[in-house]
Amino acid sequence: MKAKIFVARAIFPEVLERLAQHFDVESNQEDRIYGADELRQKAQGKDGLFTTPSEPVNAALFAANPQLKAVCNMAVGYNNIDVAAATAAGVMATNTPEVLNETTADFAWALMMATARRITESEHWLRAGHWKKWSYDSFTGPDVHGATLGIIGMGRIGQAIARRSMGFDMNVIYHNRSQLKPELEARANNAKYVGKEELLRQADHVVLVLPYSKESHHTIAAAELALMKPTATLTNIARGGIVDDAALIQTLRTGGIAAAGLDVFENEPAFNPEFLKLSNVVLTPHIASASTPTRLAMANCAADNLIAALAGQTPPNLLNPDVARKG
Ligand code: GLV
Ligand code: GLV
């Protein structure tokens, strides 16, 4: 008998077909977002779940579904899953690291450049019919080349962002839970490890790439924003909640920093509407990994994990190796 899985969101048809070769698949192709209660019910009788960051996977779900063996998230971030509860319940949890590193680093650059060079703001102005004459000071902003890039969260994505700065002759500083090995710092454009406050004081462009957790909640709040240069930009491609959005709105409004580029928001997709009133912020709908090949690779990676886990193997991207396996 095939194992039973629930695919919590619409995904690529070819990946769904691949899963159907291995499993008895129930899937949410109408793509309505399920909350915790509905997902708990959908998990009934299932051996595995294919989830995305939109679905909360919590202790109550595990308690109500003792047959569940694996939850495979199609994302590198997994703060939607209570991994400690999964481990306690004997459920394997997986994510999709590596496959999105370069695409996500590309996007961090696109967003940082658009923010510094006011690309979306000036395009909106042009589309609105305001372009009547050239002016020496229209849409001027800070330079990117030759500037100091400050990266908070120096995992693989952070390092890929740093490597890209070589062509822009940038000086790279970073803050992380731990300092990188010297050879990795060298590959990351000779990135220099500094304290968070020093980074915020020195950087011309701050990029956030750290995972969300209780500890990283509001890593950037009013006190941190106050340390930044008034000419600096802040780019967040990590997770909503790492930045205190209300504090950022206040800082952008009063010119405390030059501009922000945000791909993620507190309470997204219901983000703070005050952002829409500001011209010095570039807003994108959580798309940093959204190249077509990378999203397909992420879906296949999540499928690989599910297939391995339910075949009794160790899935390639197991987040809780201490989990006691179910038979
Ligand atoms: C996207 O945000 C991811 O975590 O992969
Ligand atoms: C975080 O997702 C990282 O790899 O830096």
The structural domains of the chain, ordered by start, are: 3-97+292-310 (3.40.50.720), 101-283 (3.40.50.720)
Which segments within the chain are labelled E, that is strand?
A: 3-7, 23-27, 48-51, 70-73, 92-94, 148-152, 171-175, 192-193, 205-208, 233-236, 259-262, 281-283
Q: Give yes or no for residue 75 CB within 6 A of ligand 1.
A: yes
Instruction: Please give the pLDDT value at position 327.
Output: 61
Mutate to test the pocket of ligand 1, among 9, 51, 76 (most ligand atoms within 8 A of CB): 76
Which residue, among 69, 97, 89, has the nearest Cα to 6 in the 3D structure? 69
Tell me which residue has its CA closest to atom 3 in ligand 2: 155
DSSP string, 51-63: E-TTS-B-HHHHH
Tell me, yes or no, if 205 is annotated catalytic.
no
Tell me, yes or no, if 286 is annotated catalytic.
yes
140 Cα: distance to centroid of ligand 1 (angstroms): 32
Looking up tokens 């060298």 gives 186
Tokens, residue 303: 């499928």
Instruction: Please give the pLDDT value at position 252.
Output: 98
Instruction: Please give the pLDDT value at position 273.
Output: 98
158 Cα: distance to centroid of ligand 2 (angstroms): 6
Tell me, yes or no, if 217 is annotated catalytic.
no
Q: Give yes or no for residue 158 CB within 6 A of ligand 2.
A: yes
Q: Give yes or no for residue 157 CB within 6 A of ligand 2.
A: yes
CA distance 75 to 153: 17
Q: Among the options 239, 266, 274, 325, which is catalytic?
A: 239
Mean pLDDT by 10 residues, the chain (327 residues): 97 98 96 95 98 97 98 97 98 98 98 98 98 96 98 98 98 98 98 98 98 97 98 98 98 98 97 98 98 98 98 97 83
Q: Among the options 40, 118, 268, 295, which is catalytic?
A: 268
Identify the nearest ligand to the CA of 288 by its number.
Answer: 1
Tell me which residue has its CA closest to atom 1 in ligand 1: 75
* CB of 259 closer than 8 Å to CB of 281: yes
CA quadruple 28, 30, 31, 32: dihedral, nearest 10: -100
Nearest atom of ligand 2 to the alpha carbon of 153:
5
Mutate to test the pocket of ligand 1, among 74, 289, 295, 296 (most ligand atoms within 8 A of CB): 289
Nearest atom of ligand 2 to the alpha carbon of 156:
4
Neighbours of 205 (CB within 10 A): 26
130 Cα: distance to centroid of ligand 1 (angstroms): 37
